[in-house]
Structure 1
Amino acid sequence: MAEQGKPGIAVIGAGLAGGIVARDLAAAGRRVHIVEKSRGAGGRMATRRTPEGLSFDHGAQFFRAHGPDFGAEIAAWAARGLAAPWGADGRFVGAPAMNVPVKALVAGLPLAVGSAVGAITGAPGRWELTLADGGRLGPVAAVLVTAPAPQAATLLAPVAPALAEAAGGVRYAPCLALMLAYPPDALADAPVPAQRPDHGAIAWMAEEASKPGRATGAPRRIVVHATPAWSRAHLEETPEAIAQALLAEAAPLLAASAAPLHAVAHRWRYALVEEPVGRACLWDAESGLGAAGDWCLGGRVEAAYDSGRALARAVLGEASR
């Protein structure tokens, strides 16, 4: 139970890093408030659902553990039915959707979705968040930003220039994603296996039904990710133009006998971390401001997890002193 005498902590972002730091702080008795600009928790461990009932894991395609800490977390998720192995090489996916583990992390915690943060204002010990819709959150003792590095840098620049400078040095490669749905007999392979084709435009393709816990009925759903180079070249085009161009690249690989029933693109502007901060997290104990994300350590799901845990330890370590 949260200790009512302790000031609250605001966490900006409900992806894996934000979910982990919020869970760990709440478990230690801190009052946590999570603010997320999108419609739900997950971040790039994302699942898109359409009005027609289709679902696509259009962000991170899988996760695996390189270290024991994340390995233990995955095992705990699997024991609860929140994750399941997928294929070889230690790959796991959320079950029955990629965003399920993150949703479980923040379950029961105060979470405001659809709330973009416009600014951090106030002073140490009494920070406030100004929301894009005109609302406010605070005062809180600390603000922890787990948004992508460029967005974190923008928020932190007026109140923590040194942290903003560190976040501002991060470099990303974008990724354009395409969500396709086909009639059941339009594709020869059943299901289309996960693959990294040797192709100038296509970096990844997989059929949703190949993952554990996914619906296997019609229509057949495919996620395509473009290469960084192709994504950069087409990044500023309209979603409709991106979908048309990426479908033209993917169609020969899929060899579909019919046109897709659904073809929608998504722009991941901050997808693949190419140049991280090189530290587990950013934390300024004097101001009570910090940041975490995969961009602190490197472009893996595990990096987001490790960074979130590191930031929670930093905050709690300071509090204990």
Structure 2
Amino acid sequence: MYNIVLANNNFFRMRVCIVGGGLTGAIAASLLRSSLPALHIELWDKASRFGGRMCTKRKPSEPRVSGVDVGAQYISSTPEYYAAHKSYYSDLVARGVLQPMTCRITDDRHPPDTRHFVAPNGMSSVVQHFVDKAACTARLGTQVRDLQYEWDKCEGKSRWRVAAADGEVVLFDAVLLTLPVPQMLALGGDLTAAIDKVAGLRSELEAVSYSSRFCLGLFYPASVADQIILPEGVAAMYITNSDSPFCYVAIDNLRRGLAAGDDGFLSVMVHTSRAFGAARVEEQKEALLPELLDSFRRLFPSWPAPCDAFCHKWRYSQVVTPVPESRGGSVAVGGGEVVLSGDAFTHSNVDGCIRAATSAAAALTQYVAGLKTADK
């Protein structure tokens, strides 16, 4: 039995499930904790750690080694967005989660007045910061199978039954989905009918599209650090060679403002182009690893061979076609107790996730306030 506290100190029981442990879900959880401090919040994610597309992975053979960011590389905020979200950035910098980016990047495509930040402890630390602020119950390695709306005899009201792929079933008063849209639409149960009751929503969701990418994580011993050098000594560069499967390469330690080899290794991250990802997305990452390593050797023939490497696949990388702006960053369905959100409802960067999370948290808070009014 759980209580939430409203501004006027009225109490009633409520449980909320947030599905998707990326940045939108984590920020939304922290906002709900701030406005409704006694709310029971559970954050579910199918991965073994939080982060979503702000993911930091470790050296496969030595997981204690500092990781490499396989998704977002650095955070860029325009003057308008920085002004709107300054409190977020100031807090993250003050706590050492972010720091201004000082390294050089060749062919950076952002306007010159854009502010750039890096996460010295890896991008997943940004998401973990908000998870910690939310003080929620974490359920990692838990993939949702379906959502059903059913009567709860114990509470005497209807609730959403969230069923996991492993058979576990939990009842919640409200659910926030921040998954990639195709994964939302694939959920079984009563969610389909709830979406179809909102005029035009299904066609908007089905029109959402994403780019796909593969990426290489490469690890080298510190003893060869003087051989791992990009042109002009930059920390990262965009690759414009159309014959290459790659579009971006970064010496991860330098990009994050760390001395190469502090833990005995240095790491390199390489992203494939959108065209390569779209053409090869159905292939297994393990099968592609030798081909990508060979392409990388041809791109930097003077570099020594890495001592360890892995390939990661992003089926849903960045949003190409989002939900229309008129939706405002989230959509409430099923009477308001299920909210759909995520960067597909704004755009794929940190500021987009902040906008989506703010909208989703406001929608859930409004739903809670409606329950309070009906309870009088």
Q: Do both share a fold (TM > 0.5)?
A: yes
Q: Equivalents in 2 of 1:148, 1:215: separation in Å? A: 35
Q: Taking structure 1 as reference, are residues 164 and 117 closer, same or farther at Cα in structure 2, changes over 3 Å only?
A: farther
Matching of residue 284 in structure 1 with residue 333 in structure 2: yes
Matching of residue 22 in structure 1 with residue 29 in structure 2: yes
In the TM superposition, what whole-angstrom CA distance separates every residue of 1:224-251 from its partner, at most 9, and x where no partner exists?
A: 0000001122222222332222223322
Q: Equivalents in 2 of 1:177, 1:5: separation in Å? A: 47
3-state DSSP of counterpart to 1:144? strand
The structure with the largest alpha-carbon Rg is 2
Aligned to 1:60: 72
Matching of residue 302 in structure 1 with residue 302 in structure 2: no
In the comparison of the two structures, how many residue pairs are matched? 320
Q: 2:92 aligns with which of 71, 74, 77?
A: 77
Matching of residue 114 in structure 1 with residue 141 in structure 2: yes
Q: CA RMSD in A?
A: 2.2
Aligned to 2:53: 44
Q: Is the 8 A contact 1:181 1:219 kept in 2?
A: yes
Q: Taking structure 1 as reference, are residues 64 and 204 closer, same or farther at Cα in structure 2, changes over 3 Å only?
A: same
Matching of residue 233 in structure 1 with residue 268 in structure 2: no
Aligned to 1:150: 182
Aligned to 2:211: 173
Aligned to 1:135: 168
Moved more, 242-251 or 23-32: 242-251
Q: Taking structure 1 as reference, are residues 153 and 226 closer, same or farther at Cα in structure 2, changes over 3 Å only?
A: same
Q: Equivalents in 2 of 1:120, 1:285: separation in Å? A: 11
Q: What's the TM-score, normalizing by structure 1?
A: 0.92
Q: Is the 8 A contact 1:10 1:143 kept in 2?
A: yes
1:272: how far off?
1.4
1:63: how far off?
1.2
Q: Taking structure 1 as reference, are residues 142 and 174 closer, same or farther at Cα in structure 2, changes over 3 Å only?
A: same
Aligned to 1:7: 14
Q: Is the 8 A contact 2:19 2:45 kept in 1?
A: yes
Which amino acid is the alignment partner of residue 62 of structure 1? Y
Q: Equivalents in 1 of 2:248, 2:90: separation in Å? A: 26
Q: Equivalents in 1 of 2:46, 2:69: separation in Å? A: 19
Q: Equivalents in 2 of 1:305, 1:270: separation in Å? A: 19
Matching of residue 185 in structure 1 with residue 212 in structure 2: no
1:193: how far off?
1.7
1:120: how far off?
0.6
Identity %: 27
In the TM superposition, what whole-angstrom CA distance separates every residue of 1:5-46 from its partner, at most 9, and x where no partner exists?
A: 231111101100000111111111132111111011111111
Q: Equivalents in 2 of 1:77, 1:150: separation in Å? A: 31
Q: 1:196 aligns with which of 238, 262, 278?
A: 238
1:285: how far off?
6.6
Q: 1:92 aligns with which of 117, 121, 131?
A: 117
Which amino acid is the alignment partner of residue 143 of structure 2? A
- Consecutive unaligned residues in structure 1, runs of 5 or more: none
Q: Equivalents in 2 of 1:181, 1:158: separation in Å? A: 48
3-state DSSP of counterpart to 2:142? coil
Aligned to 1:261: 307
Which amino acid is the alignment partner of residue 331 of structure 2? L
Which amino acid is the alignment partner of residue 86 of structure 2? G
Q: Equivalents in 2 of 1:158, 1:268: separation in Å? A: 29
Moved more, 54-63 or 232-241: 232-241
Moved more, 25-34 or 271-280: 25-34
Q: What's the TM-score, normalizing by structure 2?
A: 0.79
Q: Equivalents in 2 of 1:91, 1:195: separation in Å? A: 15
Moved more, 117-126 or 198-207: 117-126
Q: Is the 8 A contact 1:193 1:206 kept in 2?
A: yes
Which amino acid is the alignment partner of residue 229 of structure 2? D
Q: Equivalents in 1 of 2:164, 2:239: separation in Å? A: 43
1:213: how far off?
5.6
Q: Taking structure 1 as reference, are residues 222 and 216 closer, same or farther at Cα in structure 2, changes over 3 Å only?
A: same
Which amino acid is the alignment partner of residue 252 of structure 2? E
Q: Equivalents in 2 of 1:134, 1:28: separation in Å? A: 32
Q: Equivalents in 2 of 1:38, 1:69: separation in Å? A: 31
Which amino acid is the alignment partner of residue 72 of structure 2? A
Q: Taking structure 1 as reference, are residues 132 and 259 closer, same or farther at Cα in structure 2, changes over 3 Å only?
A: same
Q: 1:293 aligns with which of 342, 352, 356?
A: 342
Q: Is the 8 A contact 1:295 1:304 kept in 2?
A: no
3-state DSSP of counterpart to 1:311? helix
Aligned to 2:129: 104
Q: Taking structure 1 as reference, are residues 81 and 33 closer, same or farther at Cα in structure 2, changes over 3 Å only?
A: same
- Consecutive unaligned residues in structure 2, runs of 5 or more: 6-10, 105-113, 151-156, 371-376
